[in-house]
Amino acid sequence: MGCGITNQKKSATKITRRLSDAVAISPWLFMSKKKGNLPSQYKEIKKLGAGAFAVVKLCKYLPTGHDRAVKVIHKSGLHQQQIDSEFMLKEISVLTSLDHPNILRCYEIFEDPLRFYVSMEYCEGGQLFEKIISLKKFNEQQAAQIMHQLLSAICYCHEKLVIHRDLKPENILLDDQNGDLTIKVADFGSSCFLDPLKMLNGCFGSAYYIAPEVLEDEYNEKCDIWSCGVIMFILLTGKPPYPGKDPKFILNLVKMCPLKITQSKVPGVSLQAVDLLQKMLEVNPRMRISAKEAVNHPWISNYKTVVQDNDLSDALHSLEKFNGSAKLKDAVHVFIATQVASHEEIKFFRNTFKALDKNSDGKISKEELLEKYKENMEESQAIEVVEKIMKEVDTNLNGEIDYSEFLSACMNYSKYLSKENLETAFRMFDKDDSGGITVDEIRHVMGKKTKLPEAVWEEVLKDADENGDGIIDMMEFVNLMTNRL
């Protein structure tokens, strides 16, 4: 339930814009313009859920055979803060900036005159909310496992200046049904970018989870921390923090009598857990703990899952041997790693990534890599190895290894370079279905907003254009991907 969102809307006709001018700035998300309903690559299986202005459908993505969740958003129901200056769904710019193992992956965004369609990773475990109902409450180890992942994702978002604004168990998904508590933060429809020099306004969120300062219409990223605190409270106690079900009544309690944590409110819970709850549910946002501080709190650290060193050896070896010299080949590797690889292999590398990410900020730094390599070699050799890894793997040159970069470097591509997978990747670049890939199409997929000289794009083309005709055909593409593995 929202908290008094205004009814200012943009008309559906004004919202429509040319998606041919829109580009993905993330290496794994693609945008296109479609006419009518779901495109031919998607086969609808069933409806997963629905709200006032959106419905989520389970679909089979035919090129890979994988299940995807497609969120259909009616343009007429969007709030003005959810649309950018060019009448595009603001959620797009947020999603294209995020790349974290505990944030729901978005594959493609397209539109017709009345709707936006967001094609996303499908999590068969369903909502955390449903798990809470079935289990009643979680023990501290289970709760800490969930909170570690949630806070890591929010720490990553906040460092990217992304504020979720609607964190609740309904927007946290479980990766699978096997009892594993791996989560994915979803539904960034109310999210926004934060200007560090300004406070946010606009009342977004759900009654139980909304921070008191949001009701005062002046807040920052700390509103997400309050929501995380309420989620932790529910996980440990099995009950909501406020009595009743009427949203107006609950919002009044949030404003007039905000939640204050004492030992008696959470009986049987450890002192460390109470301490973290108190710090996240501090009424004064200036005094409230940050996501980075929370994810490294002793209560989280005590229960953090440890990956054995022998399970890291393959990934460390792959990082060391990775050669990222061919830009087009790298982009295709990212596509295969994020859209074609099996669920089980992604799960293995996700756990390895998190084990190397010592401070849980959703990225692997040079220092974190160096610490691990120094365990098995001399410091001077470790420094040399890590410098090479950063040069080859850090393709966006941000000084850290992002999740997709890590997957791309560690995957066993010989296993995935089948004719079918390569044809799928080729079609991803061949936007006009002409049977050849041009410089413009490479620029479109790899990032038209990236201000690179024309000579760089020409160099990318030359990686594969064997006959020098300015176009990469299917045979040249296959040769690029299967040679020099």
Q: What whole-number percentage of the chain has pLDDT above 90?
A: 37
Structural domain boundaries enclosing 457: 419-482
pLDDT of residue 31: 52
Q: Which residue among 64, 91, 121 closes a domain?
A: 121
Q: Which residue has the tokens 């760089």?
A: 456
pLDDT at 305: 64
Q: Which of 73-82, 88-97, 321-330, 437-446 has the lowest mean pLDDT?
A: 321-330
Q: What is the mean pLDDT of residues 201-222?
A: 90
Does the pLDDT of residue 8 top 90, yes or no?
no
Say how far apart CA 167 and CA 135 lie, in whole Å: 20
Query: Which of residues 303, 323, 348 is at a domain's end?
Result: 303
Average pLDDT over residues 438-450: 67
pLDDT tops 70 at residue 87: no
Domain assignment present for 6 = no
Closest CA to 93 of 45, 145, 25: 25
Cα Rg for the chain, rounded, in angstroms?
A: 23
Catalytic positions, please?
166
pLDDT band at residue 484, thresholds of 50, 70 and 90? low
* Residue 242: inside a domain: yes
Provide the residue count of the chain: 485
C-alpha 330/C-alpha 485 separation (Å) is: 12
Co-location of 144 and 226 in the same domain: yes
Q: What is the pLDDT of residue 447?
A: 57
The structural domain count of the chain equals 4
Instruction: Quote the pLDDT of residue 357.
Output: 93
Q: In this structure, is residue 451 part of a structural domain?
A: yes
Task: Give the C-alpha separation, 30 to 86, whole Å.
Answer: 18
> In this structure, are residues 315 and 288 in contact, taking their beta carbons and an 8 Å threshold?
no
CATH number of the domain that 100 lies in?
3.30.200.20
| Per-residue pLDDT, 84 | 60
Alpha helices in 257-395 (DSSP H): 271-280, 291-295, 298-303, 313-321, 327-339, 343-356, 366-373, 379-393
Cα 347 from Cα 228, distance rounded (Å): 24
Q: Which of 406, 245, 266 is nearest to 333 (CA)?
A: 406
pLDDT in tens, 331-389: 777 777 777 777 777 888 888 899 999 999 999 999 999 999 999 899 999 999 999 99
Q: What's the pLDDT score for residue 17?
A: 32
pLDDT, position 306: 57
Question: Do 76 and 177 belong to one domain?
Answer: no
Q: What is the mean pLDDT of residues 464-477?
A: 86
Q: To the nearest 10°, the Cα dihedral for 128, 133, 136, 140? A: 0
CATH code: domain of residue 475: 1.10.238.10
Q: Do residue 436 and residue 400 come from a single domain?
A: no
115: in domain: yes
What pLDDT, on a 0 to 100 scale, did the predictor assign at position 241? 87
Q: Confidence class of residue 441 from pLDDT cuts 50, 70 and 90?
A: confident
412 has pLDDT over 70? no
User: Quick check: is 194 in a domain?
Assistant: yes
At 15, the pLDDT band (50, 70, 90 cuts) reads very low
| Residues 44, 135 within the same domain | no
Q: What is the mean pLDDT of residues 388-414?
A: 85
pLDDT at 287: 96
**What pLDDT sits at residue 413?**
62
Residue-averaged pLDDT of the chain: 82
pLDDT for position 4: 41
| pLDDT score for 32 | 53
Asked if the structure places residue 199 within a domain, the reply is yes
Task: Please give the Cα distance from 398 to 288 (Å, whole number).
Answer: 29
pLDDT in tens, 271-329: 999 999 999 999 999 999 999 999 999 999 988 765 555 567 777 777 777 766 566 77
Domain termination site, one of 303, 335, 357? 303
**What are the Cα distances from residue 106, in Å, to 93, 281, 355, 443?**
12, 31, 24, 20
The structure's pTM equals 0.81
**Residue 71 labelled as part of a binding site:** yes
Q: Which carries the bigger pLDDT value, residue 4 or residue 86?
A: 86
- The pLDDT tens digits for 31-41 are 555 455 677 88
pLDDT digits (tens, 9 = 90+) for 140-169: 999 999 999 999 999 999 999 999 999 999
pLDDT over 60 at 30, yes or no: no
Residues 411 and 444 in one domain: no
